[in-house]
Structure 1
Amino acid sequence: MRACVLTTVHPYNDNRIFYKQIRTLLKAGYQVTYIAPCPPGVNHLEGIDLVPLPPLPRSRRPLNWWRALRAGLRSQADVFHFHDPELIGVGFLLQALTGRPVIYDVHENYPQAMMDKQWIPALLRPAVAGGMRVFEWLAVQILDGAVAANPAIYDRLRKPSRRLASVSNYVDIGLFDTARGLASFTPNCPYFIYAGSLSSERGVLDCVAAFERLSYKDAELVLIGRLDDTDLSIRNLSGQLPRAVRLLDAQPFEYIPPLLRRSCAGLVPFHSTPNHLLALPNKLLEYMAASIPVIASDLPLIRAVVKEAGCGLLVEPGNVEQLAEAMAYILDHPAEAEEMGRRGRCAVVERYSWETEARKLLRLYGELLRQSTPGLRSEADGE
């Protein structure tokens, strides 16, 4: 069986799409066509029929929608799986033109996310969010299946969806533990780490401000990720950082786990925006998998995980003083910090492992394929 996976927004090596879902499909015996933006020089991935798209700015991305549609039609796939709300129209066309099942993977609460987008004029955000809500509602009703990346998304879409699977973005422990690391990064002192999209609403500027308040001269702050160029307050961040703050470009996933393991704590300082209130950041679980304590914003889903696992400290969102105090506490109490990290690792292994989520994904594929091809004994179930 052949699956065609499409994205025009995420990088080709996206953690959820490539490292978790596509590798799960390959292990289950699927042939995979993968349509995704790729930098120059990336035109092959082992075991995958890669269709590289040129990385384009937001204003020109519609060109890639049509490229993705053409490539999808040529793939002769038995099932299609797309990962961006901007591809909902492409999903409708693939369903109508091929008669094959199409799955929409919902990574976040997109209607709420529209309210936080600085590139959308403030007066238009409610209308854009409302339009997104209607468009997404139609998508999960019309398309054959949908995947929710966390329980809150599942609850929001469960009623209108034809067939919805909750496939949380948990940690692939095996992949995480075999990552090889980044040879060019050799820290000589304790460091705090933030890995992910670098934007003000995710608290990156708070990290820098809190770190500057510390009195420790032998500590560093490491920020890893892509700068959000639509965020005016963070666009010029690289030219404003203190000497002890390192800024690294976004790295392939296989380089991240060793950087986490060597740090003294992982930071999740998200602001209390509508989209973050019901989000469980993947970086939180990755910090826990790396056996390091977490310092995180006291938001509902984050609070539930951190308190249940006893794996770190919670701070008021946007409170730089509390964030600085939590960082100092970790440095002053190394034995307690180590125990927090150990408890976080145990929680991931026991409750937040990708293995269980992979089975849910394969079950959805199997159900859709059997429905579209009567009598099929689908390899999607791993049978």
Structure 2
Amino acid sequence: MQAGPKSNARPTRGRVVMLVDNGVHGDSRVQKAARSAADAGWEVVLLGIRNARSESDNWWIGGAEVRLLRVPKPLHRLPRDYSRSLRRPLAYASTTKAAYRVQEIKAWQADLYERRVRAQAQGGGVPAAVGRAAQLPSRAAATALARWVRLRSGETRRLRKAQTDPEALFSRLPVRFWQSLLGNRSWRRLDPGLWDFELAFRSAIDELKPDIIHANDFRMLGVGARAMLRARAAGRKTKLVWDAHEFVGGITGRADNPRWLPAQIAYTAEYAAYPDAVVTVSDTLAELLQETHDLPERPAVVLNAPMAPPAEADRDVPDLRALCGVDERTPVLVYAGAVNPSRGCQIMVEALPELPEVHVAFVTMNPNGDNQFSEALRSRAVELGVEDRVHLLPYVKHWQVVPFLSAADAGIIPIHHKPNHELALITKYLEYSHARLPIVVSDVKTMAQTARATGQGEVFTAEDLTDFVRAVRAVLADPERYRAAYDKPGLLEGWTWEAQARILDEVYSSLLGVPPAGGARTPSARRPEDERELAGTSR
């Protein structure tokens, strides 16, 4: 791997340590922020988390160094995973233990049956009769124990169902108790797994002695705040920037653990007062954060907009239509980003019987094999008889996203109504825009308002198949009408990462009292094999 800036050398403008709670791959905002900060003269070290898909623990994004840390997560285990509950005393301590005991008894019974069959095969007579009689106690014990295990296993299932019900009395009482007793410190009891991030990151941050800590999203906010406090206790004037990607109170999808969301809300509330500056992804979210956390200043808005290709970028952009096996005349709808139920992607497959010539392409992380939602889309396509028109494609490098998507006929955002989905122009919206695609978007607040105002797309009622088909037909019937919106002066220029990077640089510069970077710098050259970036999505 090509050598880069030495992390123990004093930087020209200051050392920025960025923190993120993922493997960096697929997070385009973090990748772009790291690269552009390095290009602006900051020494940047990006600390992320090594996972099963990580190919390396260390690489470079332009002039920014990436280091992935191993994060053991023993504290992420819930108390219910290893302790008995008074709610159902007969339940096993864990579903794993219940499953083990059920299989153990089944194996014992299978073994007894095999021995009985063998005895029968040996013929009759006194010895066989004695052998069968000798088995009777074991068979009786196995039958009785099997009933006992089934009872306890059933109790375990019922207990887990109750424990994951946020409205159950014994789910609400512990949350209310710890909230009343500890206030914002209650996350320590409700989700002690947040300490696992702290214990994994703290030494790496302290060794780097950063001038600025850039904490991405809420999990890294507490990690960054404590690192900042330790640095100041040691006499350094380290500054903390919180990059809020979403509104924590609006997060959904953790119904299996009623304690999780209250813990994250308390954790964020405890540390929201510590950052020296806050940046976020939209004006709507900036206002909400300032109001919720009583911030002294409105957060700066840094859109997750596409960036221009770096100087060393690989210009050999994959051909979307070739990957789908279609020609220029075939209508292609594209969706780029994470695939899960709340993103509404299934409606694109469901609509295909009503759109007989249309193909859909899902550009998503791990499109095959280990993504259950992608596989669900594929299975539904088979059921509808449209599997030949559904294409699951892998991410491309983030600087290739826009030209790659531009081969499609329309960009689709079928996202469902969730609190955080209403707040921002998400990454794919801006990527579709720079690809000059007509956009079909559900009626979530910010994106629907923008599409109507600019005329760049059609809005449909979320989860309404008939209205989705109408919107798709409209943009396919007259695509140039929608593409013309991109000719409006200044529209796309404001939606570039270069414009957003200047805002971020101004935040850094003001914190350290240094002049902002004077114009664009020449990007730091890296060999293509040192670039491990993938296209990213907003969360």
TM range (shorter): 0.7 to 0.9
Q: What letter corresponds to residue 11 of structure 1 in structure 2?
A: V
Q: Secondary structure at the match of 1:171?
A: coil
Which residue number in structure 2 is paired with residue 308 of structure 1? 453
Residues 1:40 and 2:40 are matched in the alignment: no
1:34-113 to structure 2, matched below 5 A, reads: 34-37=46-49, 39-41=54-56, 43-45=58-60, 46-54=62-70, 63=196, 65-99=198-232, 100-113=238-251
Residues 1:171 and 2:313 are matched in the alignment: no
Whether the 8 Å CA contact 2:216–2:243 is kept in 1: the answer is: yes
Whether the 8 Å CA contact 1:203–1:271 is kept in 2: the answer is: yes
Residues 79, 162 of structure 1: CA spacing in aligned structure 2 closer, same or farther, 3 A cutoff? farther
Which residue number in structure 1 is paired with residue 235 of structure 2? none
1:63 Cα deviation after fit: 4.7
Of residues 118, 121, 124 in structure 1, which corresponds to 2:256?
Answer: 121
Which residue number in structure 1 is paired with residue 486 of structure 2? 344
Residues 13, 72 of structure 1: CA spacing in aligned structure 2 closer, same or farther, 3 A cutoff? farther
Q: Secondary structure at the match of 1:169?
A: coil
Residues 196, 351 of structure 1: CA spacing in aligned structure 2 closer, same or farther, 3 A cutoff? same
**1:152-175 deviation line (CA, Å, top 9, x unaligned):** 221012242245532232424523
Of residues 236, 251, 256 in structure 1, which corresponds to 2:396?
Answer: 251
Identity of aligned residues (%): 20
Provide the rounded CA distance (Å) in 2 between the counterparts of 1:78 and 1:173: 26
Whether the 8 Å CA contact 1:200–1:231 is kept in 2: the answer is: no
Q: What letter corresponds to residue 358 of structure 1 in structure 2?
A: A
Provide the rounded CA distance (Å) in 2 between the counterparts of 1:268 and 1:226: 16
Residues 1:356 and 2:369 are matched in the alignment: no
Residues 276, 184 of structure 1: CA spacing in aligned structure 2 closer, same or farther, 3 A cutoff? closer
Which residue number in structure 2 is paired with residue 9 of structure 1? 22
TM-score, length-normalised on structure 1?
0.84
Residues 12, 65 of structure 1: CA spacing in aligned structure 2 closer, same or farther, 3 A cutoff? farther
> How many residues were matched structurally?
364
**1:200-257 deviation line (CA, Å, top 9, x unaligned):** 11111111111232122xx310001137999977664344432210012333313322
TM-score, length-normalised on structure 2?
0.61
Whether the 8 Å CA contact 2:475–2:482 is kept in 1: the answer is: no
Q: What letter corresponds to residue 201 of structure 1 in structure 2?
A: S
Residues 1:181 and 2:314 are matched in the alignment: no
Whether the 8 Å CA contact 1:4–1:34 is kept in 2: the answer is: yes
Of residues 320, 333, 346 in structure 2, which corresponds to 1:205?
Answer: 346
Provide the rounded CA distance (Å) in 2 between the counterparts of 1:348 and 1:14: 24
RMSD over equivalenced CA pairs, Å: 3.1
Q: Secondary structure at the match of 1:194?
A: strand
Whether the 8 Å CA contact 1:145–1:164 is kept in 2: the answer is: no
Whether the 8 Å CA contact 2:57–2:67 is kept in 1: the answer is: no
Which residue number in structure 1 is paired with residue 38 of structure 2? 26
Q: What letter corresponds to residue 357 of structure 1 in structure 2?
A: Q
Provide the rounded CA distance (Å) in 1 between the counterparts of 2:361 and 2:349: 10
Whether the 8 Å CA contact 1:29–1:380 is kept in 2: the answer is: no
Provide the rounded CA distance (Å) in 1 between the counterparts of 2:336 and 2:264: 28
**1:32-67 deviation line (CA, Å, top 9, x unaligned):** 111123512362214223212358898688655433
1:235-274 to structure 2, matched below 5 A, reads: 236-241=376-381, 242-274=387-419
Which residue number in structure 1 is paired with residue 473 of structure 2? 328
- Unaligned runs of 5+ residues in structure 1 are 371-377
1:271 Cα deviation after fit: 0.8
Provide the rounded CA distance (Å) in 2 between the counterparts of 1:211 and 1:319: 14
Whether the 8 Å CA contact 2:308–2:498 is kept in 1: the answer is: no
Residues 283, 55 of structure 1: CA spacing in aligned structure 2 closer, same or farther, 3 A cutoff? farther
Provide the rounded CA distance (Å) in 1 between the counterparts of 2:36 and 2:310: 15
Q: What letter corresponds to residue 216 of structure 2 in structure 1?
A: H
Q: What letter corresponds to residue 191 of structure 1 in structure 2?
A: V
Residues 251, 315 of structure 1: CA spacing in aligned structure 2 closer, same or farther, 3 A cutoff? same
Residues 338, 55 of structure 1: CA spacing in aligned structure 2 closer, same or farther, 3 A cutoff? farther
Residues 170, 143 of structure 1: CA spacing in aligned structure 2 closer, same or farther, 3 A cutoff? closer
Residues 220, 345 of structure 1: CA spacing in aligned structure 2 closer, same or farther, 3 A cutoff? farther
Whether the 8 Å CA contact 1:3–1:31 is kept in 2: the answer is: yes
- Unaligned runs of 5+ residues in structure 2 are 1-13, 78-192, 233-237, 382-386, 520-539
**Relative contact order: is structure 1 or structure 2 higher (C-alpha 8 Å, sep ≥ 6)?**
2
Q: What letter corresponds to residue 46 of structure 2 in structure 1?
A: Y
Which residue number in structure 1 is paired with residue 289 of structure 2? 157
Which residue number in structure 1 is paired with residue 142 of structure 2? none
Of residues 311, 315, 334 in structure 2, which corresponds to 1:193?
Answer: 334
Which residue number in structure 2 is paired with residue 222 of structure 1? 361
Residues 185, 74 of structure 1: CA spacing in aligned structure 2 closer, same or farther, 3 A cutoff? farther
Provide the rounded CA distance (Å) in 2 between the counterparts of 1:312 and 1:267: 10
